[in-house]
Structure formats: structure tokens, C-alpha cells
């Protein structure tokens, strides 16, 4: 199956086209979450191109689910659960471990207040943290990406991952501890 490569803006435009052609009431709402879906898919898959494809696939699945859905519970967590499930399916079908981390491109969005004068040290710490996060096992990586990167509450992240909130909090705590330990290990080298 060959997938067409698109970027998040093109994905939003396609959703708008679907909205106009097919009259889906929730298409505009899904379009608002495209960038988050791409970032989340990237953090799960470690593959930028796959993240774009899988986000598009999640939108299509969500759009197809809408006619049979009663409208209750349609929210960001519901949509992100679809993104997580699409990514998990994709990972299950991969026969080999993802390419080397050097092939991955960061999708980290720096805050508008980021000052390049902060220098190399801050950029290096950000890159080391990103690499440490990408080295986490999938369950921990998903939890950390949703809460720390995407700004989900623990309740929303638990819904998106379809796990109890206590489990999510434990995974988040473990993920943070693993990233911290890795950064400390690197500092001691």
C-alpha cells in the first residue's frame, strides 16, 4: 500500500475539503488537532514521514467513525486514542527496529520566547532530552509525549491510551526518572 506524503498543513486542507464535500460537522474540530496528532505520532513511531501518514490515517478513521458515533465523547482525547491505536498497529507491523536516531528529525517546537543567544548549551540539553525520550520503551514514551510534549492532563492522556489514570501516572513517573537518569549518566561521562 503506497501512501502519499503530506505535511500537517496539507492534512488540514484535506480535512477542509472533506468537510465541504461531505458536510461532516466535526471535520473542522479534527483539523485543529492535526499538528498535535503529527507530533504524537512522531513521538510514538520515531519516524517523521510515518507520523504524517499515520495522522492522515487517523483522521480518515475518525471521519468514518463519526456517522455511527452518537456525538458524545468526541473530543481531543477520543481522537488522540485513534492516533495512538493507528501508531500501535503500524509498530506491530514493523519487522525491524526503526532507523538510527540520527535519521529522525526533531519535531520539538521551541517556545516563542526561545532566545538563540541562550546558546549551544540549551540546544544540546534539548537534543539530549529528545534522544533520551526516544530511547524509552513505547508505553513510557507515549505517556511522556502526551503529557510533557502535548500538554494533556493525566486524565486526558489516560483516556487517549486507554489505561487507568493511576497506570498513566506511574508510567509518567517512570519515564521522567529514566530520562533524568540517562541525562545524569551522560553528564558523568
Instruction: Give me the residue spans of the domains in the chain.
Output: 1-98, 116-189
Whether residue 163 is predicted with pLDDT greater than 70 in this model: the reply is: yes
Query: Given pLDDT bands bounded at 50, 70 and 90, which one contains residue 178?
Result: very high
| C-alpha dihedral (80, 86, 92, 95), degrees to nearest 10 | -120
| 3-state DSSP assignment of residue 94 | coil
C-alpha dist (Å) from residue 139 to 135, 158, 173, 174, 178: 11, 11, 12, 10, 13
CATH classification code of 116-189: 1.10.10.10
What is the rounded CA–CA span in Å between residue 37 and residue 26? 16
- Do 1-98 and 116-189 fold alike per CATH? no
Query: Given pLDDT bands bounded at 50, 70 and 90, which one contains residue 120?
Result: confident
Please name which of 43, 41, 66, 95 lies closest in space to residue 6, comparing C-alpha atoms: 41
Q: What is the mean pLDDT of residues 8-23?
A: 53
Task: State how far Cα 77 lies from the chain centre.
Answer: 12
Instruction: Look up cell 532566545; give the residue.
Output: 115
pLDDT confidence of residue 164: 95
Query: Given pLDDT bands bounded at 50, 70 and 90, which one contains residue 43?
Result: very high
Q: Which CATH architecture has domain 1-98?
A: Orthogonal Bundle (1.10)
pTM over 0.75: no
pLDDT confidence of residue 101: 37
Convert the pLDDT of each residue in 44-86 to its tens digit: 988 889 999 999 899 888 888 775 555 555 678 888 999 999 9
What integer best gives the mean pLDDT of the chain? Answer: 76
Whether residue 172 is predicted with pLDDT greater than 60 in this model: the reply is: yes
pLDDT confidence of residue 91: 86
Amino acid at each position: 500500500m503506497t501512501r502519499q506524503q503530506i505535511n500537517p498543513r496539507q492534512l488540514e486542507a484535506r480535512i477542509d475539503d472533506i468537510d465541504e464535500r461531505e458536510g461532516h460537522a466535526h471535520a473542522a474540530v479534527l483539523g485543529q488537532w492535526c499538528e498535535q496528532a503529527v507530533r504524537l505520532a512522531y513521538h510514538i513511531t520515531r519516524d517523521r514521514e510515518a507520523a504524517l501518514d499515520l495522522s492522515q490515517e487517523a483522521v480518515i478513521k475518525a471521519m468514518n467513525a463519526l456517522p455511527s458515533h452518537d456525538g458524545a465523547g468526541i473530543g481531543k482525547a477520543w481522537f488522540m486514542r485513534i492516533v495512538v491505536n493507528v501508531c500501535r498497529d503500524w509498530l506491530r507491523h514493523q519487522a525491524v527496529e526503526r532507523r538510527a536516531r540520527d535519521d529522525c528529525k526533531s519535531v520539538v517546537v521551541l517556545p516563542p520566547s526561545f532566545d538563540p543567544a541562550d546558546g549551544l548549551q540549551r540546544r544540546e540539553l534539548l537534543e539530549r532530552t529528545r534522544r533520551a525520550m526516544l530511547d524509552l520503551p513505547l508505553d513510557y514514551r507515549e505517556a511522556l509525549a502526551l503529557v510533557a510534549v502535548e500538554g494533556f492532563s493525566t486524565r486526558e492522556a489516560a483516556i487517549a491510551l486507554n489505561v487507568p489514570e493511576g497506570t498513566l501516572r506511574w508510567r509518567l513517573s517512570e519515564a521522567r526518572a529514566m530520562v533524568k537518569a540517562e541525562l545524569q549518566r551522560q553528564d558523568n561521562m
